[in-house]
Each structure stands twice: as structure tokens, then as C-alpha cells.
Amino acid sequence: MFGLDRKDTALLAIVALLTLLAPFILNPFPAGSAMAQFNAGYPDLMQRFVIFGIFAIGFNILFGLTGYLSFGHAAFLGVGSYAAVWMFKLLSMNILPAIFLAVVIAGLFALVIGYVSLRRSGIYFSILTLAFAQMSYALAYSVLTPVTNGETGLQLTLDDPRILGSSATADGSIPVTSLFGFEMRSATELALGPWTFTFSVGYYVCAVAMILAFYMAIRIFRSPFGMMLRAIKSNQTRMNYTGLNARPYTLAAFVISGMYAGLAGGLLAAMDPLAGAERMQWTASGEVVLMTILGGAGTLIGPVLGAGFIKYFENIFSKINDNILHGWFAFMPDGLEDAVVFLLHPFIGKGWHLTLGILFMLVVIFLPGGLVEGGQRIWAWVTGKNRRSAKKRATTTEPAE
């Protein structure tokens, strides 16, 4: 189905089902319960899950398949956001032209940076991409202020010409982004007993975009082009000796990856029409590296899991404070309660990066394949495949050499 084999079709169906049912899955606790703070089923966070999932999927096409580690991919995310906001200012508030322009501009920008950076490999390539990203950040923050609006960020105003749309609504406010009349911020709530589920137009637009991006990634992974990229990662020197030039393939992968980042940047602007230079900073590039490695570099679903994991920590886990901890451990004697809260304090709230860092270290040390490898090990343990394989090896007679 869709040009995929049975296994990939099942994987695509699972991703699509989980994405479309996210408002239910991410709200497991009743609204009034003490555990409701761990719910993540509100539109803004769900949108970030899928948008940064797209960003990580694209980065994985470059890093996971070719082994080229880019430290400057946030530049394409920021360029896509700026392009989308300018389209909102000049043309209309329909998100399709804005997203299209974001993808095209990010792809052209990636073509230029990739053409220069891919003259080197290894750490030199990584440093070149980091340098280009930081130069882009500096230009957006200061030199290109007429285009980017500097540190304030590019945003919509009532003075925007907007050729195919109105500059202001009937009540004198700035129009909102939409898709053929459906506003991105509009949402519907469904109350089922103590649970409240929110269904946002903006989220489902981003969800469909991520499902399509995931489908394209599967096709790339399974294509002859994807096999060539794996060959580059495996042994580029041997590939060169066979007479094949690896640079066109790596450049194509770099551009495709940049276009994915541009799509993510365009969707960020479509959900909130504001673009700032901070999206191009090196920390944003490092974040997508963490997402991909944490989820499982070179796997299909790993980057999506890594993106959701990190964004969950950033938005949910970081909200835990001492008051919440005291509520959890109120059953303990006062002295023991205070001691437990004191020990956990560095790992919560603003210290959530410390917890994330420890988890990242554990994954790298014990699960080199990321969360995907962890899931595979659990599945093998549950189904008993390891035990059956060991038993089969024990009863098999090997011929003497």
C-alpha cells in the first residue's frame, strides 16, 4: 500500500493513529486530579511535538543515513519561519503559500551552505555548518534588521499590505492565520466525565504534515537513493574507489534535510506568526541532535520519539516545583519529607536539563540505538524471542572446521 511493504505500511499506520488520537493519548489523567499536571494534550504542546518531529525526521535523513553531523540545522528552521511571516505580511494569511515559500527558501539556503560545507567531512563539516548557522544568527539579530526586525523579531502589523487579504479585521485587529477559512487557533473541547479533550485545527494541520513527512522519509529510506546514502555512511572511501562520486548524494540529502527544517519553521510561523533570531541559535541546532540520538539515529520513528520526549521534559517536567513535591511526599514525616524534596530539587523546575542530561547519558551508554532499541529489547523480552533464539542455538550442531 502507498508503495510500501507490509512492515512499513504498519509502521506508518501506527504513527498516523497515534498522531491523530494524541488528544486522547496525551490526557490520561482526569482534569482535577493531582496527576493532571502530567497531561500534555493541549494544542500548543501537541503542535510542538509534531513540528519538531518533522524537524528531527529531516535531520535524521542527513545524519542517520550519511553520518554527516550538522550543528547548524537551526539556520534552516529560522529561515523558514522568516519566509513564512513575510508571506503573511505581503500576500495573505493562508498558510499554504507561506509554508511553500518556507520550504523553497530553506532548500535554496541549504543548497548554498551544503555546497560549501560538504567540501569537508567529519568534524570539519560539523564546524562549518555551525559557523554558517551562527553567522546567520548574527545577521538576523543585527545586520539584517530591516528584514528580520532584529532582537524584537518579525511579526505582523496593521500596516502590512497583504495583497490577497485584509490588513485588519472588522474590529480593527490583526487577522489570524488560516487554511481556506479554518483558523489555526480555533479549537473544540469534548468533555467526558472528569476528562476534557481539546481538538485544535492547528494541531491537525501539523499532524497531517508530519504524517506526510514521515511517509516521504520511509520512501527515501527504502529507495536506491537511501541505499547510496547508507553506503556513504558505511565506507565513503571504498565508494569513491568504485568510481562513484558521493558529493551529489550528500548534497541532495543536505538539501532535503534543510527543506524538512524549513517546513518545520513554516509551521511554527503558521501556528504563531512570529519569527525571531533565537530559532537560528546553536542551542536549537544542538536540540535536534539530541532528539535524533535520543530517539535512535538511523531509525524511522526514533527522531519523532526523541522530539516528543525532549519537548515533554521542556514543557511538563520543568513545571514541577518544591510545592508539588511537598504535596507528593506529604505522607512522610516532616524531616524526611524535607530531605527528599531537598534531594530532588536540583533535578526539577529549572534543573530539568540536569535530569535530561543524565537520561541522555544513560541512553548513550546502555542503549546506543536510542529509545527505539529500548523498545525492541522490551518487546523481545515480552515475546520471549531471546530465550527461543538462545535455546535454538544451544540445540543446533555446528559442523567442524
- Express each pLDDT in 98-130 by its tens digit: 999 999 999 999 999 999 999 998 899 999 999
* Lowest mean per-residue pLDDT among 108-122, 297-311, 359-373, 381-395: 381-395
Query: Other CB atoms closer than 10 Å to residue 379's CB: what's the count?
Result: 10
- Tell me the pTM: 0.91
Quick one: pLDDT at residue 1?
66
Task: Report d(CA 50, CA 303) in Å as an integer.
Answer: 11
Which string of b and e fits 56-89 if b means at least 16 CB within 10 Å? bbbbbbbbbbbbbbbbbbbbbbbbbbbbbbbbbb
Residue 399 has pLDDT above 50, yes or no: no
Mean pLDDT over each residue of the chain, to the nearest integer:
89
Residue 277 has pLDDT above 70, yes or no: yes
Report residue 17's pLDDT band, with 50, 70 and 90 as the boundaries.
very high
Quick one: pLDDT at residue 401?
39
Domain ranges of the chain: 6-28+40-280
Q: What is the DSSP track for 350-362?
A: GGHHHHHHHHHHH
Tens-place pLDDT, residues 177-190: 999 888 998 999 88
Cβ neighbours for 150, distance < 8 A, ≥ 6 positions apart:
140, 141, 142, 277
Quick one: pLDDT at residue 143?
87
Quick one: pLDDT at residue 39?
87
Q: Is 373 helix (H, G, I), strand (E, B) or coil?
A: helix
Tens-place pLDDT, residues 32-81: 777 888 888 888 999 999 999 999 999 999 999 999 999 999 999 999 99
Task: Report d(CA 240, CA 65) in Å as an integer.
Answer: 17
For the four alpha carbons of 339, 341, 343 and 345, in that order, the dihedral sign comes to: negative
Task: Report d(CA 99, CA 86) in Å as an integer.
Answer: 11
Q: Are 277 and 148 in contact (CB under 8 A)?
A: yes
Report residue 391's pLDDT band, with 50, 70 and 90 as the boundaries.
low
Q: Is 329 helix (H, G, I), strand (E, B) or coil?
A: coil
* Lowest mean per-residue pLDDT among 163-172, 224-233, 326-335: 163-172
Mean pLDDT, rounded, for 246-259: 95
Residue 168 has pLDDT above 90, yes or no: no
Residue 398 has pLDDT above 60, yes or no: no
Residue 351 has pLDDT above 50, yes or no: yes
Report residue 396's pLDDT band, with 50, 70 and 90 as the boundaries.
low
Q: Is 213 exposed, middle or buried (0-12, 13-18, 19+ CB in 10 A)?
A: buried
Query: Other CB atoms closer than 10 Å to residue 305's CB: what's the count?
Result: 21
Quick one: pLDDT at residue 388?
56
Per the model's pLDDT, the better-predicted residue between 389 and 63 turns out to be 63
Q: Are 4 and 217 in contact (CB under 8 A)?
A: no
